Amino acid sequence: MTRLLIIGPPGSGKGTQAVHLARHFGIPAVSTGDIFRSNVSRATELGTQAAQYLDGGDLVPDHLTNALVRDRLLENDVRRGFLLDGYPRTAVQAVELDNMLAASGLALNAVIELRAPDTELEQRMRKRAREQGRTDDTVDVFRRRLDLYRRETHEVVSVYAARGILVPVDGSGDPGEITAQAIAAVEKFLAAARA
């Protein structure tokens, strides 16, 4: 069972890489965005609560995000492993994820950290805004998200680095090359952990 997490700043290509890595390792990609959208569209109790925040452009609070992820990790398709994308994004969520997994005697195998210079991240955001017409991809919004990442999510990176399960990957350049580098780095790390 392979249990992975992919993390990185906005514009680092987490979503794209999560799909490719999950396919390679034969596990589902579990994205908080997908979890939110699924629960909102099905009008679940948690989805209705989450919609109140999402509709206002606010972050879904930790307690609600934790509950939604906990429900998702109880579904059958993740029993053989998963790749988390977008969770945990705070230290509080990282502790809760530990508790969720420990309840089943599990833990994360590796955490992939995509790294890229701010200038490249901003260029990608601008390109995505042009190509996809995303109104939330403005320079100001991007810089706020990057600041939020540095203030909250980077603390999560430090937690996993201290545990020795962080696998840094250069997130610059061609997406296909990034995927190949990430797969090689994770396979090497997992093989060493098993040895």
Asked whether residue 147 is assigned to any structural domain, the reply reads yes
* CATH number of the CATH domain containing 75: 3.40.50.300
Q: What percent of the chain has pLDDT over 70?
A: 97
What's the whole-number average pLDDT of the chain?
89
Order of all β-strands in the sheet with 81-85: 29-31, 81-85, 2-7, 110-115, 166-170
pLDDT, position 96: 95
- Residue 140: which domain range? 2-187
Active site amino acids: 14, 89, 126, 134, 145
Residues 6+ apart with CB under 8 A from 30: 69, 72, 73, 78, 82, 83, 84, 85, 87
Q: Quick check: 67 pLDDT over 80? A: yes
Give the tokens for residue 126.
């601008």
Residues 6+ apart with CB under 8 A from 126: 137, 139
Select the more confidently predicted residue: 51 or 167. 167
Is the pTM value of this prediction over 0.85?
yes
pLDDT, position 136: 61
User: Do residues 114 and 171 touch, judged by C-beta distance below 8 A?
Assistant: yes
Q: Quick check: 57 pLDDT over 70? A: no
Asked whether residue 195 is assigned to any structural domain, the reply reads no
Which of 56-65, 105-114, 153-162, 167-176 is predicted least confidently? Answer: 56-65
pLDDT, position 127: 83
When divided into structural domains, the chain yields a total of 1
The residue type of 141 is V
Place of tokens 């995303």: 134
Asked whether residue 192 is assigned to any structural domain, the reply reads no
Asked whether residue 90 is assigned to any structural domain, the reply reads yes
In whole angstroms, how far apart are CA 10 and each of 18, 32, 41, 180?
14, 14, 25, 21
| Exposure on the CB side of residue 57, measured as CA atoms within 13 A | 4
pLDDT, position 166: 97
How large is the angle between the packed helices 45-54 and 32-41, nearest 10 degrees?
A: 110
Residue 31's φ and ψ, nearest 5 degrees, are -105, 135
User: Sorting pLDDT into bands at 50, 70 and 90, what band is 154?
Assistant: confident
Asked whether residue 30 is assigned to any structural domain, the reply reads yes
What confidence tens digit (pLDDT) does each residue in 15-50 have?
Answer: 899 999 999 999 999 998 888 888 888 988 888 888
What confidence tens digit (pLDDT) does each residue in 94-150 have?
Answer: 999 999 999 989 999 999 999 999 889 988 888 877 887 766 667 787 888 888 888
In whole angstroms, how far apart are CA 128 and each of 13, 103, 134, 139?
11, 40, 7, 12
Give the integer Cα–Cα distance in Å for 108 and 130: 36
